Chain A
């Protein structure tokens, strides 16, 4: 648990490849993107079931920090390939 306010990029860098429960979200001006937020929980603190229950109760917003990057491989969509550490989009 951490009470420091972080930007979305900082959240992704500090909590990669995991679910986070966000509170006190500041949204971008013209859309619903998270600009900054406080990470109340990650899936190191609470199980996925506990996090989804908290989200449904409106106590946190649940998101997976690197879903785009991780799912493209996970689901075998092959939307990009990685060659020598460089991503090539299909």
Chain B
């Protein structure tokens, strides 16, 4: 296994790390990564492209409307999402600009070491540090797919 870690910020009650100088919530109950940032910012940061409009997801105290964007080269430590498709809500759903979902780490072993404040990710040797994360809308339901 290949392993790396990212520092947890211990003053938060939930697992929060810092990415791109912004707080990032790791939501192990989430399926779809949700980035509460304007499309203009996402275009300048990650060359974002609109995939489809008017997607709806639940789980933030109700249903939430937004659009799906495809980003390029989103990095979490040594892990690089060459393509990362994310939900961009019309209204912010969390105070953290980035919300990472459990599905992004599918096939990996991850661990929250709250004693040493580390988010530890282990990747099987045969798996690459590069991956793609796609979202598909099948008859109004969103599904995710990882490509290594």
6 contacts between A and B (CB under 8 A): A33-B9, A56-B20, A61-B22, A67-B23, A71-B94, A75-B61
Interface residues on B, range: 20 to 34
Which residues of chain B are near A76, meaning CB under 8 Å? 60-62
- In chain B, positions 65-115 with a C-beta closer than 8 Å to chain A are 92-97
Bound together, the chains give a CA A77 to CA B8 distance in angstroms of 22
Bound together, the chains give a CA A52 to CA B97 distance in angstroms of 8
Q: Quick one: given A8-B11, A52-B37, A68-B14, are A62 and B97 in contact (CB under 8 Å)?
A: yes
Q: Which residues of A contact B (CB under 8 A)?
A: 8, 19, 30-34, 48-49, 52-53, 55-56, 58, 60-64, 67-68, 70-71, 74-77
Distance to closest chain A CB from B93 (angstroms): 7
Which residues of chain A are near B56, meaning CB under 8 Å? none
With beta carbons under 8 angstroms apart, the residue of B14, B21, B38, B44 that contacts A62 is B21
Question: What secondary structure prevails in chain B residues at the interface with A?
Answer: loop
Which 10 pairs across A and B sit closest by C-beta, in order of nearness? A76-B61, A32-B7, A64-B95, A67-B95, A55-B21, A31-B117, A68-B13, A61-B21, A62-B22, A75-B61
Which residues of chain B are near A64, meaning CB under 8 Å? 23, 95-96
Distance to closest chain A CB from B15 (angstroms): 12
* B45 close to A (CB within 8 Å): yes
Q: Is the CB of A62 within 8 A of B23?
A: yes
Task: Fill in one digit per residue for B26-40: 1 if any A CB lies within 8 Å of its CB, else 0.
Answer: 000000000001101
Which residues of chain A are near B21, meaning CB under 8 Å? 55-56, 58, 60-62
With beta carbons under 8 angstroms apart, the residue of A19, A32, A58 that contacts B117 is A32
* B124 close to A (CB within 8 Å): no
Q: Is the CB of B10 within 8 A of A52?
A: no
Bound together, the chains give a CA A49 to CA B88 distance in angstroms of 14
Q: Is the CB of A34 within 8 A of B11?
A: yes
Q: Quick one: given A49-B38, A52-B22, A63-B23, are A32 and B45 in contact (CB under 8 Å)?
A: no
Q: Is the CB of B18 within 8 A of A32?
A: yes
Which residues of chain B are near A32, meaning CB under 8 Å? 7-9, 18, 117
